Structure 1
Amino acid sequence: MKKMIVMLCASVAIAACTSNSNSGNTEDTVTAGEHAASARQSEVDTSINNTGTNRGSGSEPAGAYEKGAQLISSSDCLSCHKVDQKIVGPSYKEVAQKYEANEANVSYLAGKIIKGGSGVWGEIPMTPHPTLSEDDAKEMANYILSLK
């Protein structure tokens, strides 16, 4: 039964990822996609600037993590994660509490974002994002770690 639930969740995650890449020529498809993107953007608080307690000396400029928040809001991440609520995967605040904000953890999390994985937060695998650049994944990880 557990394996069946894991497979179902993985299928939903994969379907969520591939639904953004399907291109249809109907107006309904475009409208639905635009609506989904708008909904995702409204779910990420891009006004959070340098809120992390372990983010260096505070010398980061205002909006230093805004790019990471924007990248998250324009991706499929919000299908499985929210800032302060567990959905399929952990909330971003849970991730920020688990990992100290340093370059090693930013690189580690960026790798997880790009390659996906499982086992750290349970059996349900995280969908990989192989087309995402390492720099963008690091921006996303920096934003997530700023949410302490």
Structure 2
Amino acid sequence: MKRVGFIVSSAAVVLGAWASAAGTSAFAADAPRGQSIANANACMGCHAVDRKLVGPSFQQIAAKYKGDAQAPAKLTRKVKDGGSGVWGMIPMPAHPSMSDADIRTVVDWVLAGAPAK
């Protein structure tokens, strides 16, 4: 009888761990690709979706550049090369190791208002 209890308990632990991992993966899969790339490249250390941190919120950036056809190119260059002066005295560091495709995905997500889905 002890052996049966051990097997049932072990199965419950394994299933619980699997369910937990599956839930985490499902959550990550629900996040927009731009947000996932921003998280992976430390963008969220200075920016938040809906409030100013060190830099402006992604929603503030979207509002500022709304209707600007040159915004994708401007912001792509800003992310790659860094810059200062647009939002205050604190400079934005360059991100030379980010691929152009990843930068464009993040920029497109930000310009869309940084939607949750």
TM-score normalised to the size of structure 1? 0.54
| Larger Rg computed on CA atoms | 2
Measured after TM superposition, the shift of residue 102 of structure 1 is 5.6
Which of 8, 25, 33 is the aligned partner of 1:67? Answer: 33
Task: Describe the superposition over 1:36-68 as per-residue Cα deviations: whole angstroms up to 9, x where unpaired.
Answer: xx9xx98xx82xxxxxxxxxxxxxxxxxxx221
Normalized per residue, the structure richer in helix is 2
Q: Which residue does the alignment assign to 1:113?
A: 79
CA distance in 2 between partners of 1:77 and 1:101 (Å): 24
Q: 1:125 to 1:67 in 2, by over 3 A?
A: same
Q: 1:102 to 1:133 in 2, by over 3 A?
A: farther
TM-score normalised to the size of structure 2? 0.67
Kindly tell me the number of residue pairs found equivalent between the two proteins: 88
The unaligned stretches of length 5 or more in structure 1 are 1-37, 47-65
Measured after TM superposition, the shift of residue 75 of structure 1 is 1.3
Which amino acid is the alignment partner of residue 112 of structure 1? K
Q: 1:113 to 1:125 in 2, by over 3 A?
A: same
Aligned-pair identity in percent equals 36
The unaligned stretches of length 5 or more in structure 2 are 1-23
Q: Which residue does the alignment assign to 1:122?
A: 88
Q: Which residue does the alignment assign to 2:98?
A: 132
Measured after TM superposition, the shift of residue 132 of structure 1 is 1.0
**Runs of 4 or more consecutive aligned structure 1 residues displaced over 6 Å after TM superposition:** none
- 2:72 corresponds to 1:94: no
Mapping 1:1-148, distance limit 5 Å:
46=31, 66-100=32-66, 104-147=70-113
